[in-house]
Amino acid sequence: MIDVAVQKRLGDFTLDAQFAAPDGITAIFGRSGSGKTSLINVVAGLLQPDAGHVRIDGTDLTQVPVRRRRIGYVFQDARLFPHLSVAQNLAYGGTHDREAVIDMLGLGALLDRRPAKLSGGETSRVALGRALMSNPQLLLMDEPLAALDTPRKAEVMGYLERLRDRSQVPILYVSHDMSEVARLSRTLVIMDAGRVVRAGPVAEVLSDPQAVPLVGVRDAGAVLTGRVQAFDADDELTQVALSSATLTLPGRLGPVGAQVRLRVPAQDVILSTQAPIDISALNVLPCRIATLIEGQGPGVAVSLTCGTDRLLARITRRSARAMGLRVGQEVHAILKATAIAAADVGTGDAP
């Protein structure tokens, strides 16, 4: 359990943030300049707050010097020591669970190398391993994937999912990429202009139409959990069972029986009042409208209950009017299979 309430003036910018989060991965999401990095720098002790507290499991760390906080920090630029080998970098803060960490992050072949000889993905993994081996009680990660190209991102993301599933260390994960957030985190903290504007379980926040303006229209979209039912090798399609229907999605998403997390962007959900026939979209979910929220712009955010799953759709106000949508109405949500990008499909249990 982490409990943060801090104020800090930084020139024209004021950080005034508070949130509490359970263990697991907590994503701190926001535009660049919203104060995400300042917030975790305060948590790490690299920035002294003007007022407030940082507590982990009830212990107040506000006055504790950085080196005694036992908070691991994976910096955006990794900050490996250039004059030390990978092995020396890893051991700098301790050798806690050394073999397990090396094995989990696939660092065995890198130990004798210098940081300058590592690829971007390898650098991120070493920085993560170094922080883990210092036996932290909390891990901070500042956009660890931001500097990587797409293939490297996918590679490191796999390791992060392994970390989430194997390690007990709670993590604060700073990101401005919603697909990362949706795949990894259990709790979501949204920041804007130095303040926390929303915090809560990730599935709940992302399916809440009220949160759409906070998340951003493009990034809004619910997170669903499903189970791989079958894989069709000829068409390269995976069947994923949800509570109310089965989705057919491109690519091999995991072994049969595996749990997967899907992020369904709200702007890619089409609503129909009648069961569609003869359309190319493979996925039609019977749903009921839970709420309708009109925003500032031309859009309407529609929250849907489909079995026990919650979905979010964003349509135009004109369509909502023409279709006569109202709360409680039965509708069909149509998902184009390719709307769910590979980066939006993750492994793991319920968010």
Partner 1 sequence: MTLGLDPATWGAVLLSLRIAAVATLCSLPLAIAVAWLLARKQFWGRGLLNGLVHLPLVLPPVVTGYLLLVLFGTQGPIGGWLRDTLGVTLAFRWTGAALAAAIMAFPLVVRAIRLGFEAVDPGLEDAAATLGASRTRIFATVTLPLIGPAVLAGAVLGFAKALGEFGATITFVAAIPGQTQTIPTAIYGLLQVPGSDGAVAVLVTISIVLALGTLALAEALSRRMQRRIRG
Min CB(91)–partner 1 separation in Å: 10
Which residue, 82 or 324, has its beta carbon nearer to partner 1? 82
Q: How far apart are CA 26 and CA 32, in angstroms?
A: 18
Residues in contact with partner 1, counted by CB under 8 A, come to a total of 28
Q: Which stretch binds partner 1 (CB under 8 A): 9-17, 128-136, 152-160, 199-207?
A: 128-136
Closest CA to 140 of 70, 63, 49, 58: 70
What mask of x and - would describe binding to partner 1 in positions 103 to 122, judged by CB under 8 A?
Answer: ----------xxxxx-----
Which residue, 49 or 351, has its beta carbon nearer to partner 1? 49
Min CB(117)–partner 1 separation in Å: 6
Quick check: 193 binds partner 1 (CB under 8 A)? Answer: no
Q: Is the dihedral of CA 262, 267, 273, 278 positive or negative?
A: negative
CB neighbours of 242 closer than 8 A, spacing ≥ 6?
Answer: 224, 226, 285, 306, 307, 309
CB neighbours of 107 closer than 8 A, spacing ≥ 6?
Answer: 86, 90, 101, 125, 126, 129
With residue 103 as reference, give the H or E element that holds it. Answer: helix 98-105
Q: Which stretch binds partner 1 (CB under 8 A): 3-11, 80-88, 166-174, 266-274?
A: 80-88
Q: Which of residues 282-321 bind partner 1 (CB under 8 A)?
A: none
Quick check: 63 binds partner 1 (CB under 8 A)? Answer: no
Spatial contact of 345 and 260, defined as CB atoms under 8 Å apart: yes
Among 23, 75, 193, 227, binds partner 1 (CB under 8 A): 75
Query: Quick one: how far is CA 301 from the chain centroid?
Result: 21
Q: Which stretch binds partner 1 (CB under 8 A): 66-74, 189-197, 255-263, 274-282?
A: 66-74
Under DSSP, the state recorded for 308 is T
Q: Is the dihedral of CA 316, 322, 328, 330 positive or negative?
A: negative
Q: Phi and psi at residue 140, in whole multiples of 5°? A: -105, 135
Q: Which stretch binds partner 1 (CB under 8 A): 79-87, 231-239, 284-292, 329-337?
A: 79-87
Alpha-carbon Rg for the chain, nearest whole angstrom, is: 22
Quick check: 68 binds partner 1 (CB under 8 A)? Answer: yes
What mask of x and - would describe binding to partner 1 in positions 6 to 25, judged by CB under 8 A?
Answer: --------------------
Q: How far apart are CA 162 and CA 132, in angstroms?
A: 13
Amino acid making up residue 222: A
Among 70, 98, 152, 227, binds partner 1 (CB under 8 A): 70
Among 54, 71, 223, 339, binds partner 1 (CB under 8 A): 71
Q: Which stretch binds partner 1 (CB under 8 A): 73-81, 161-169, 190-198, 237-245?
A: 73-81
Quick check: 130 binds partner 1 (CB under 8 A)? Answer: yes
Residue bearing tokens 């036996």: 135
Which residue, 54 or 188, has its beta carbon nearer to partner 1? 54
Which residue, 44 or 102, has its beta carbon nearer to partner 1? 44
Q: Phi and psi at residue 164, in whole multiples of 5°? A: -60, -40
Residue bearing tokens 């697909």: 179
Name the site residues for partner 1 (rule: CB under 8 A): 44, 46, 66-73, 75, 77, 79, 81-83, 85, 92-94, 113-117, 130-131, 134
